[in-house]
A and B are shown apart, each in its own frame.
Chain A
Amino acid sequence: MASRSSVARANNTNTQGKICQFKLVLLGESAVGKSSLVLRFVKGQFHEYQESTIGAAFLTQTVCLQDITVKFEIWDTAGQERYHSLAPMYYRGAQAAIVVYDITNQDTFTRAKTWVKELQRQASPNIVIALAGNKADLSNKRMVEHDVIAILQEAAAYSEENGLLFMETSAKTAMNVNDIFLAIAEKLPKNEAGVSGNRPTAGVGLAATENRESSGKSCCGS
């Protein structure tokens, strides 16, 4: 049922029939701009005074590559410490993750690194991780200039080392926002098995998680 409807929609927009659905999770220190980033990507909006997220918000967005339609199921987690216990439930079984930090704040980068470490240890082994240095628009102000550059260099090196996608983004100016999602979409393994519709439409709890994981594996198993 679900697959048919999405296929239909894909056809309506004149793209080829393949639809891949991926679970993506956003992680990072609070107030680095995770929600803003997603809001920009999903709705094209930006709020100067974005309220802090409670728990985890859920959004979806569809992206069209050359011949494949990629549908992102985005879980935007809250950065506040008290919601950290929820995070594993969302990155478990996720095929992609964006770890966000604030380029003007060294501490958020440190926290981002621990998130990456946690993902590498706990999340599914084939997860695509992107590191997003958000609030890039502030880099023009250069409040503590050499700090910003130092973080940038370190982040680039760190991403290189750990095989992460890395971009500096700005939700405010929409700089690199779509690009980072598209880069993820391109990097995600897509084959016949990964085509939409193989996702379980029924089944709950653990079984559903397992199925999802297995579909993720078969995605890149070839």
Chain B
Amino acid sequence: MATVKEGFLCPICVQDLGSFHKLQNHFETKHTAEDKAIFDQVKGLFSKAKVRWLKKDGVNENDIGSSSSSNHILHDAPVWDPQEIGQMHNHMEKFKKIRDDRIDRFVIESNKVLIRLDKLAHCDEFEATKRKEFEQTLVPWVRDNDVPYCPTCGDRFNVTRRRHHCRLCGSIMCTKCSLFISFQFADELVQTLRKPPAGRRRTQSDLNISQSSTSKPQDTSELYIRCCHDCYIVLMKRKERLDQKENQPLLVLLYEKLRSATDAANELSPLYEKMAESLNRGEESYHLDKANDYRFKLIKLYETIDVVSKKISVLDTEDQDHPPSATLLRMQNAIRSASHAYLQNNMLTLQSLPSLPKLEMLQKNRRQEEERRMRRQREELERERMEEERRREVERLRSEAENSRVSQAPPALQKSRSGVILKEGWGAESNPFQPQGNPFESESDPLLEQIAYVRQMIVQAKQANRTEEVQSLNRNLSELESEFQRQRSVRAFA
């Protein structure tokens, strides 16, 4: 924990000087060589503070000495800007490395111990000397002479206080410090190592259970596995972890149930939404029965979520002896409110399905709509074809007219005030669509009409050998066509 220092602290050497004047003196004499900028800043601060004090308290040095009043400078000082975050360094990698190393070591240690324990627990040798030999093959025992005192309690070994070896690591201790592991317990611990894990117990383990529960074994040291304190801790830790895995708290179980229900609902609801939407549109790609089935399932899931989350929120609150901690309670309530929000978002907005007669009506409407659309499309195609035909007809008429055309009045040279009209200009024959009384009627696009007309004019201009006019008309034609394309795309996107 960082301690908070208060008082007349020198900003450079953090020494408490006791009074304002002493501090100023100290600063000016000791730190004059320091950074000029800092000096100016601090000096400015001090002089401001001094003015305040002189106003407030008068020039009473003793009075100022108290640390409480010294707080004023620090808080009121406008000189200090909020500090920026300085150099940052991420130590995560380093931490992970250290942690991984430790975990590795621990896992290796405990695995070694467990493997030995497994072998010991399933050794069929009960004859004392042979068993001892077997035990020593598993782990080399520390030589008796090397250990004059018990490493755990520090007492000297002698004739009465005998040396004993830990069967799991081979170290030495006295009887008093020895701990014993029953075969049953050993079996429990190592069972998870074996596959299949919870298989048939060995006969000798059964034997051990009966022995440990009913008749006291004649030689405890042989039926229990002697081990040292350190190895015992390793084993207990493993036991703890196994227990955790098997006996999860009710809260965790309930929460898992809640999660699985939520996940299932999340998976199901988009499917259902799609179905409901499609059915409400009157489409026939889904069956109403199936959708109803889905709806039922969804509602069941939402109910489960509701019930379970409610259970979680009141979990253990009735328990007078062990009331849940405030943090736990807060978490439980948070789970409940999150579930509540989820239900509000999903269950209440769940689309309803049309009833059977309504669905039939919707489907009928849709079919009709579809038919109408098809008909419209067919009509459009038909119309386009007609237009094409009409244009061909018009072109035919046009060429006929061209052949039978009588030459117009002779070109007239006209004088004018300031200029001369050279000769008769060129103009396309009036729109050939005209005499037929505008066959396009009002529904056709003026732009299309114009395109057809300009094409017509190009033909005429070509016949009259008017190259420039042909060029101008071609330019216009392409403008018209691009305009038509643009309008069509605009309409298509509208």
Interface residues of A (CB under 8 A from B): 1-2, 5-6, 13, 21, 35, 38-39, 41-45, 51, 53-66, 69, 71-75, 82-83, 85-86, 89, 178-179, 182, 185-186, 200-201, 204-206, 208-209
On whether the beta carbons of B408 and A43 are closer than 8 Å, the reply is yes
CB nearest neighbor in B for A44: B412
On whether the beta carbons of A45 and B409 are closer than 8 Å, the reply is yes
Name 29 interchain pairs, CB-CB below 8 A, sorted by A. Answer: A6-B468, A35-B430, A43-B424, A45-B409, A54-B434, A55-B431, A55-B454, A56-B450, A56-B453, A57-B427, A58-B454, A59-B427, A60-B425, A61-B425, A64-B420, A72-B425, A73-B469, A85-B447, A86-B446, A89-B483, A182-B417, A186-B419, A200-B475, A204-B474, A204-B482, A205-B478, A205-B482, A206-B482, A208-B478
Interface hits, B402-431 → A, CB 8 Å: 408-409, 412, 414, 416-428, 430-431
On whether the beta carbons of B479 and A86 are closer than 8 Å, the reply is no
The interface residues of chain B lying within 8 Å CB-to-CB of A208 are 475, 478-479
Distance, CA A86 to CA B451, complexed state (A): 11
The interface residues of chain A lying within 8 Å CB-to-CB of B466 are 60
On whether the beta carbons of B480 and A89 are closer than 8 Å, the reply is yes
Distance, CA A60 to CA B467, complexed state (A): 12
Interface residues of B (CB under 8 A from A): 408-409, 412, 414, 416-428, 430-431, 433-435, 438, 442, 446-447, 449-450, 453-454, 457, 466-469, 471-476, 478-480, 482-483
CB nearest neighbor in A for B476: A58
Distance, CA A60 to CA B466, complexed state (A): 10
On whether the beta carbons of B442 and A63 are closer than 8 Å, the reply is no
The interface residues of chain A lying within 8 Å CB-to-CB of B476 are 58, 75, 89
On whether the beta carbons of A54 and B426 are closer than 8 Å, the reply is no
Least CB distance, A11 to chain B, in whole angstroms: 12
Distance, CA A151 to CA B187, complexed state (A): 118
On whether the beta carbons of B468 and A60 are closer than 8 Å, the reply is yes
On whether the beta carbons of B467 and A1 are closer than 8 Å, the reply is yes
The interface residues of chain A lying within 8 Å CB-to-CB of B418 are 65-66, 182, 186
Distance, CA A66 to CA B466, complexed state (A): 25
Please give me the 4 A-B residue pairs with the lowest Cβ-Cβ distance, nearest first.
A61-B425, A59-B427, A55-B450, A204-B478
On whether the beta carbons of B453 and A55 are closer than 8 Å, the reply is yes
Across the interface, B421 reaches (CB within 8 A) one of A58, A60, A63, namely: A63
Distance, CA A72 to CA B423, complexed state (A): 13
Main secondary structure of the interface of A (DSSP, over half): mixed
Q: Which of B414, B435, B467, B468 has the most CB of A within 10 A?
A: B468
Contacts A51-B434, A82-B442, A86-B447 given; does A63 touch B479 at CB 8 Å = no
The interface residues of chain B lying within 8 Å CB-to-CB of A83 are 446, 450
The interface residues of chain B lying within 8 Å CB-to-CB of A73 are 469, 472
On whether the beta carbons of B420 and A60 are closer than 8 Å, the reply is no
CB nearest neighbor in B for A72: B425
CB nearest neighbor in A for B450: A55
On whether the beta carbons of B450 and A62 are closer than 8 Å, the reply is no
On whether the beta carbons of A54 and B424 are closer than 8 Å, the reply is no
- Excluding A13-B423, A42-B425, 17 further A-B contacts by CB distance (< 8 Å) are A5-B467, A6-B468, A42-B427, A53-B431, A56-B450, A56-B453, A58-B457, A58-B472, A60-B466, A63-B419, A65-B418, A66-B418, A66-B419, A73-B469, A74-B427, A82-B442, A182-B418
Distance, CA A2 to CA B472, complexed state (A): 11
The interface residues of chain A lying within 8 Å CB-to-CB of B453 are 54-56
Across the interface, A54 reaches (CB within 8 A) one of B422, B431, B472, namely: B431
On whether the beta carbons of A42 and B426 are closer than 8 Å, the reply is yes
Least CB distance, A146 to chain B, in whole angstroms: 31
On whether the beta carbons of A60 and B426 are closer than 8 Å, the reply is yes
Distance, CA A58 to CA B438, complexed state (A): 19
Least CB distance, B485 to chain A, in whole angstroms: 10
On whether the beta carbons of B446 and A64 are closer than 8 Å, the reply is no
The interface residues of chain A lying within 8 Å CB-to-CB of B449 are 54-55
